[in-house]
Structures are given as structure tokens and as C-alpha cells.
Amino acid sequence: MLELDDVHAFYGKSHVLHGVRFGVGAGEIVSLLGRNGSGRSTTVKAIMGLVDGTGRICWRGQDLVGRKPFEIARLGIGYVPENREIFPDLTVHQNLMLGEKRGRGQAAGRAPRFGFDDMYRLFPRLRERQHTAAGVLSGGEQQMLTLCRTLMGDPDLIMIDEPTEGLAPMLVELVAKYLHELRERGISVLLVEQKLTIALEVADRCLVMGHGEIVFEGTPDALRADAGVRKEWLEV
């Protein structure tokens, strides 16, 4: 579904991505791992058109390089940013409404895979707070809301940047449940994550980044068995 080939990206004169190559298949969960500054977030921003890049980024046969973020979203790619970016003055329910892309499911010849009831079932706390302004939610609740708002757009691929950052263990378990449900619904996931435990638990395949390049690609079991890769590129 998604293919990157020789992708480079820059922030001003700073060369951040150096020939990144990988793919994400239909219904696959791929974890993108690495230390801070390795290029993981820049990679998903380049896919989403938020960072200028060169090379080939292909989604279902269509080149994404040079497209606007809203055009990429309309093609069926969802993005959950690390900084959440909720609308603080709108209620939880209104934030979810803004995530809807009317006609997406119908255009694909099927009903949308997720609706309001699904969101409130996955995260019951959001149901309790649905009429509350999003700006007064806790950090964990805002993270839940951002995840759900993106799903309301009925994406075929969702890219999630550090969904468990700063969350209590109970909420981390909820996020893991959410990711499993995405797999069951046939949605592909590119997961940027630092917590090795959850990344290995949910992923079909793991990628490790270092200095703007992919330095490892393999199954979770292969990464567990490769102490050298973990020590050089992941462990503090």
C-alpha cells in the first residue's frame, strides 16, 4: 500500500532523512523505533506532506511527494501527531465530528468502519466527557480524543506518533487494545513508539532508525534476539 524509496528530508540546511526505504502492507502494523532525533517523526511528517522531501513516496500507485496534507488525508491516510492538536474550545463530541470525512466509506463501496459509538466503546472516558470542552481534558484523555478523531476519517492507513508518551499504564493498555482493534478492522498502522514492549507486542514488523536511516528491519522476534541492534540504536 505505502512504499518509500530513497526519501530525503531537510529542515533548512539540516539533512535529516538519508535515503529512507520501507513499505507498509494492507492490514499490517509496522513499528518505527529509534532514539529521539533518529528521524522517526520526520519520516511520518514527510509522508503526510508536512516536511519537504525528495525521493519516492507512493500510496496505492499514487505519488505523494509535493501534495498538500489535506490531499493526502483525502486519499485515505490518517495522522495522529505527537502534540495532539485538539480544538480546546470545542467539546469532545464536536472534535470527533470534525474528524468525519463524509462519503469516504460510500466512495469505497462500504459503510465507514468506525463511528461515534465505536469511539465511546473503545474509550468509555470520552463518552463521559463528550460534552466537555476538550481543552480541560487530561493529557491522556486528549491523546484518546486525537486517536479517535483521526479514526473518524475512516483511513486505510493511520500513522501514530508516540501514542503512549506520558500515559499511565492503564491508558497504555487501552492504546494497545485500540491498535489490536485497528488490525481486526483491516486498517494498516505505522506506529512511531519508544516503548519497546508495546511496539513488539502489536507489530507484525519492526523498523529501527538511526541517524535518518533504517538500520534494522525484521519481525519482533528477530529484534528481541538481536541484542546488538537494541544496544546500539535503542537502549539508553
d(CA 3, CA 12): 25
pTM: 0.91
φ/ψ of residue 116, rounded to 5: -60, -45
Asked if residues 175 and 167 have their Cβ atoms less than 8 Å apart, the reply is yes
pLDDT digit string (tens) for 142-186?
988 999 999 999 999 999 998 888 777 888 888 888 888 888 888
Could you report how far apart the first and last alpha carbons of the chain are, in Å?
A: 33
Of 3-12, 19-28, 111-120, 216-225, the poorest mean pLDDT is in: 111-120
Write down the pLDDT at residue 191: 96
pLDDT digit string (tens) for 57-98?
999 999 999 999 999 999 999 999 888 789 999 999 999 999
C-alpha 221: how far from chain center? 22
| Cell reading at 235 | 537502549
Residue 105 has pLDDT above 60, yes or no: no
Residue 224, Cβ neighbours under 10 Å: how many? 13
| Cell reading at 131 | 460534552
Judged on CB neighbours under 10 Å (0-12, 13-18, 19+), 181 is middle
Write down the pLDDT at residue 135: 95
Segments making up each domain of the chain, as ranges: 26-38+68-233
> What is the pLDDT of the chain when averaged over all its residues?
91
Asked if residues 31 and 193 have their Cβ atoms less than 8 Å apart, the reply is yes
Q: Which residue has the higher pLDDT, 198 or 88?
A: 88
CATH superfamily of 26-38+68-233: P-loop containing nucleotide triphosphate hydrolases (3.40.50.300)
| Cell reading at 96 | 470527533
